[in-house]
Amino acid sequence: MDYRYLAKATSQWWESYDKAKRLVRISFSDIISEALELGEEINNDTLKLLDKDECILLPFKFVVCGTCGGSGTHVNPSIDSHGITMDEWDSEWSYDDQERYTSGFYDVQCYECNGKRVVPEIEKTRLDKRKMELVRLLEEHMQDRIDAAKERYHEVKMGY
């Protein structure tokens, strides 16, 4: 599956972030109910960290977006996610098309950072045990989303 489509499925793991305070707000309402449904035990002190909207603020730092490499844009995956072979490039692409491709004509705003070039990353080294438990739940949730996105992609490809 193309990494750009995958980025689209997983980029929104946070609700909002405060640049000045370096705090990212994450909602756990779905994550907690899913985990409890699966029979996971979550410590009560951990749950108490969440506010009335089941959100928490965690410290974060910005890292260069891995999907666009910090450029803020990438080629629209509908153009080249299947991989362009040299044959296609030479025989099916006109000179104008080639020009457009290399000059960024087919570029779209990055699916992960939405053109911001950087993305927030939780600063795990600054978290205690309880907060780390929440991060672990978040990471499991995101992995599930990745798996689900891959499965859907596979199904569509197979024509189900």
To Zn ion, the closest distance from the beta carbon of 110 in angstroms equals 3
Residue with Cβ nearer Zn ion (68 or 122): 68
Phi-psi region of 144 (alpha: psi -120 to 50; beta: other; left: phi over 0): alpha
To Zn ion, the closest distance from the beta carbon of 12 in angstroms equals 13
DSSP string, 65-92: -TTTTTSSEEE-HHHHTT---HHHHHHT
Residue with Cβ nearer Zn ion (70 or 97): 70
Which residues form the interface with Zn ion (CB under 5 A)?
65, 67-68, 110, 112-113
Residue with Cβ nearer Zn ion (26 or 112): 112
Residue with Cβ nearer Zn ion (3 or 93): 3
To Zn ion, the closest distance from the beta carbon of 113 in angstroms equals 3
Q: Which long-range contacts (CB under 8 A, 24 or more apart) does 32-35 make?
A: 32/137, 34/141, 35/137, 35/140
To Zn ion, the closest distance from the beta carbon of 129 in angstroms equals 32
